[in-house]
Amino acid sequence: MSGSQLKPPALPGVSDLIFETGLSYAYIGRENTVVVREENTKVISDLYGICDIIHDFSQNARIVATQLKKRYEQRKSQMDKLRADKFSQSNEQKLLDFSKADQELEQSGLSIRNNLERHMLDDQPEEFLDYLKRYVTEENSYIFAEDYHGIATLCISMWLYPHALKILEYAHERFPRHDDITLKLIETYTYADNPSNKSKAKKLMESHFFIARSESNIPGFTVESKSRHIAHGNNLQRIFKVYLMDYEYDNILNIIDSYEKLNVLARNNMIIDSDKAFSKWHKGDYEEAISLYKGLVSKYPNEDDMRNLGLMFFNTGEIEKGYQIYELIALAWFDCDALLRLSSKMADDRICRTERGLESTRASKHFAKRVIVPILFKAIDLSPNEDTIRRVKWTLRGIGGRDEFEFIQKNSHVPQEMFSILREERSKFYDWSNLEYIEANKINQNDISQLNDLLSERTLQIIREEQEVSLMAGEV
């Protein structure tokens, strides 16, 4: 039997050549053993020697195989690591750079606005200002026009007008054609009461709306002004507000005149007529102002124009009509402000309503106080805060309300209960008929269209009333 016939298969990971070499010697020794037996010429000790040789060869084969297997496993581990690293690198190349994305998100205008708003709502002015300075910088390229607009608006809400101006001026440099930034900058200039900002506001406003100055320095709209949507009511109000900063009533009237000559679609007659009436009034043209206000409040009844019409009546001596307009405001907008304004005019112009109708209180300050005090304390009842109490005290000074001062001081810890306490403890000292009339005739505001119709109707009744209400002179 030859060695080649007994050759075993190679094990995985072990060189065939090594096994062939090592086992061949073993087979040769085995054959020699057979020969010795056949010839029977060797002693038993020789047989042991041959067995030792065979054992040595087999031991060497195991050592070589173990070493090769170890080297194979090491090599396999290295290859697996190389494949894993290559796979990992391939995946990393396909992923977004989230570290950069995180930075962009942190510095984005939207994120900054949200965080500033959170500090504002949490009443954290120091944190608000610190965050503003850290993130709103010239180096931050992730803030856009609408973000600057929103951030500036938040600054104004926090009374940080200089910061808002700084932000808007920088934004205007970056986005000079962005209308919202320009308009917000004009508006913010008007908040700061100093000559420099007033001049900037006027210059920027006239440039933006293509307002040209004549040789005599009179401002007026041009054909190009139409492209700026000047027919939009908010834009007209912005323009008028800038001129009102320096009481330029003549310029407002000139602007209105040029506007009417452009034949712009008149969607805003109310705004035009309101500012025209206001300017005419302050220029001393009372007759024209009253005529404009009458037309306004009969078509578009609103609190501001109605109050101005009432003031015009008071200023021109038509006290009864002025009072009725102020009373109508109180009936329609039954709130603290309306009652305080009405009581103030009652004190200043010495008129009130009693069970007998409208009466003069000029001859008796005591009677005026008896009628006015219930209305003043009803205002506190509607809005029990320090500002209301301050305004009430101001009116009380003019009507000799020393006892009422002491009453307020005594009950300052329960402002929300002052009215009920006054009515319970001091009711007999006052005339409640004026307040009771107002409370009984309040206008329901559930339907705005009906409210406007009713206000127009009642205003026209007051305006068209030919018969003068006789004012009673003397103490009542």
Residue 313's nearest CA partner among 152, 164, 463, 456 is 463
Give the residue with greater pLDDT, 326 vs 193: 326
Q: What is the pLDDT of residue 25?
A: 44
One-letter amino acid for residue 66 of the chain = T
On whether residue 338 sits in a domain, the answer given is no
Gyration radius of the chain over CA positions: 48
pLDDT(29) > 70: no
Q: Helix (H) and strand (E) counts for the chain?
A: 22, 4
On whether residue 41 sits in a domain, the answer given is yes
Contact 230, 236 (CB under 8 A): yes
pLDDT(430) > 90: yes
5 torsion bin: left (phi>0), alpha (psi -120 to 50), beta (else)? alpha
Give the residue with greater pLDDT, 79 vs 388: 388
With residues binned 3-state (H G I as helix, E B as strand, rest as coil), the percentages for the chain, rounded to 5, are 70, 5, 25
On whether residue 347 sits in a domain, the answer given is no
Beta strands 351-354 and 219-221 are unpaired
On whether residue 88 sits in a domain, the answer given is yes
Q: Tokens 């009677």 map to which residue?
A: 367
Could you give the C-alpha distances from 421 to 328, 348, 412, 417, in angstroms and in order? 28, 27, 12, 6
> Which H/E stretch holds residue 359?
strand 357-360
Q: What is the pLDDT of residue 375?
A: 96
Give percent of the chain with pLDDT exceeding 90.
47
**Partners of 212 in beta bridges:** 220
* pLDDT tens by residue, 316-328: 889 999 999 999 9
Residue 14's pLDDT band, with cuts at 50, 70 and 90, is very low
Of 276-280, 328-332, 354-358, least confident by mean pLDDT is: 354-358
Q: Tokens 């009842």 map to which residue?
A: 381
Average pLDDT, the chain: 82
Distance, CA of 160 to CA of 152 (rounded, Å):
9
> Which H/E stretch holds residue 353?
strand 351-354
Contact 422, 401 (CB under 8 A): no
Contact 358, 352 (CB under 8 A): yes
Residue 434's nearest CA partner among 383, 476, 385, 384 is 476
Q: Which of 21-35, 62-76, 361-375, 416-430 has the highest mean pLDDT?
A: 416-430
Distance, CA of 68 to CA of 62 (rounded, Å):
10
Could you give the C-alpha distances from 355 to 31, 120, 435, in angstroms and in order? 147, 51, 11
The pairs formed by 271-274 with CB atoms below 8 angstroms and a separation of 24 or more are 271/233, 271/236, 271/237, 272/236, 274/304, 274/305
Residue 279's pLDDT band, with cuts at 50, 70 and 90, is very high
Could you give the C-alpha distances from 389 to 376, 381, 427, in angstroms and in order? 9, 10, 20
Tokens of 158: 């926090």
On whether residue 197 sits in a domain, the answer given is no
Distance, CA of 10 to CA of 429 (rounded, Å):
124
Tokens of 2: 């030859």
The number of distinct structural domains making up the chain is 1
pLDDT(251) > 70: yes
Contact 323, 358 (CB under 8 A): yes
Residue 248's nearest CA partner among 226, 275, 271, 270 is 275
Residue 281's nearest CA partner among 301, 246, 298, 305 is 305
Contact 246, 208 (CB under 8 A): no
Name the residue range of residue 81's domain: 16-94
Does residue 206 sit in helix, strand or coil?
helix
295 alpha-carbon distance from chain centroid = 37
Residue 447's pLDDT band, with cuts at 50, 70 and 90, is low
Question: DSSP secondary structure string, 34-48?
Answer: HHHHHHT-S-HHHHH
Distance, CA of 322 to CA of 352 (rounded, Å):
11
pLDDT(311) > 60: yes
234-257 average pLDDT score: 91
Q: What is the pLDDT of residue 66?
A: 78
On whether residue 375 sits in a domain, the answer given is no
Distance, CA of 441 to CA of 95 (rounded, Å):
72
Does residue 352 sit in helix, strand or coil?
strand
Q: What is the pLDDT of residue 297?
A: 86
On whether residue 404 sits in a domain, the answer given is no
Give the residue with greater pLDDT, 103 vs 246: 246
Tokens of 451: 């409210």
Of 102-106, 210-214, 221-225, 463-467, least confident by mean pLDDT is: 463-467
Distance, CA of 473 to CA of 475 (rounded, Å):
7
Residue 168's pLDDT band, with cuts at 50, 70 and 90, is very high
Contact 182, 172 (CB under 8 A): yes
Of 78-87, 178-187, 310-319, least confident by mean pLDDT is: 78-87
Residue 202's nearest CA partner among 170, 245, 154 is 245
Q: What is the pLDDT of residue 366?
A: 81
Q: Tokens 């119709």 map to which residue?
A: 453
> Which H/E stretch holds residue 351?
strand 351-354
On whether residue 78 sits in a domain, the answer given is yes
390-399 average pLDDT score: 92
